[in-house]
Structure 1
């Protein structure tokens, strides 16, 4: 698939969400690597920004638009879902639920298995089994938490990934998490 086709598909998937702007920012440094900043400006929301880089301008554009898609598509999913509300203790008696204690809660978290919160169905990889996860682990930003505020973490983009197929998106998500870990521990 031509990268121009991928860029067009990414732009099309954002139609109706706001104004998309792209501009090259590699002229501000001396690395010689094409870098593109993509922005989505939507009324009543903070600007969404993505950065992409590559060996060519189109690779950088695809990367930047992919970053926008990650955030906008997850926002749609969170907004359009009908979350399951309940506690881990109650819900886990009825179906498969991911234990928040396995999700790297912050030190000193007030979590208890009886804490009532919104959950969303997700699919485990690679077996595809359904499991509920706290909705705040899916949102990219606090303002996306339209079904109630996050209670355990600050929603962030770590672990979100876009790709041409599921495996590519998962690999991208893993690399996002590793990049963030390296950024804060180095």
Structure 2
């Protein structure tokens, strides 16, 4: 079995990145993590990936004249790694339409809500404000609309009476770490497509 080559894009500590790296250690997992890119040189996840022997790279958007130019530079890094699939794991940037088109059907993201509910930021606080009974996470294909791509998998958690955004986020994160490796497995194995 030839494993698909996966690059992960992060901006911070990379807890979902770590979950993907751990899953890819299994001998029959259909994907291997070949590189981790960050738009922040100080991202803690870069150190974690490097300690796992995975190639890492960071570039600062401020060094580029436009978002498109920065995205082209990211694309060059991903191609240098031979990446076939891109996983966004807390990558806090809106990607340009040209970059999204380049990776259409091969780029996925994990989002902390039951999409289409609560696209964007502050999902846990918004869910609590709406007094919903359930919250959760989604893994979806990345398209040009923010958090609008087709959902691959979702996981639900109950919202408890004494929940805060932090306690709810912690329970959702446990599900993200379970869900994201499974969604990547499905994509890498050709069991799901856009």
- Note whether the superposition's TM-score is higher than 0.5: no
Question: RCO greater where, 1 or 2, for CA within 8 Å and sep 6 or more?
Answer: 2
Instruction: Name the TM tier (shorter chain).
Output: under 0.3
Between structure 1 and structure 2, the one with the greater Rg is 1
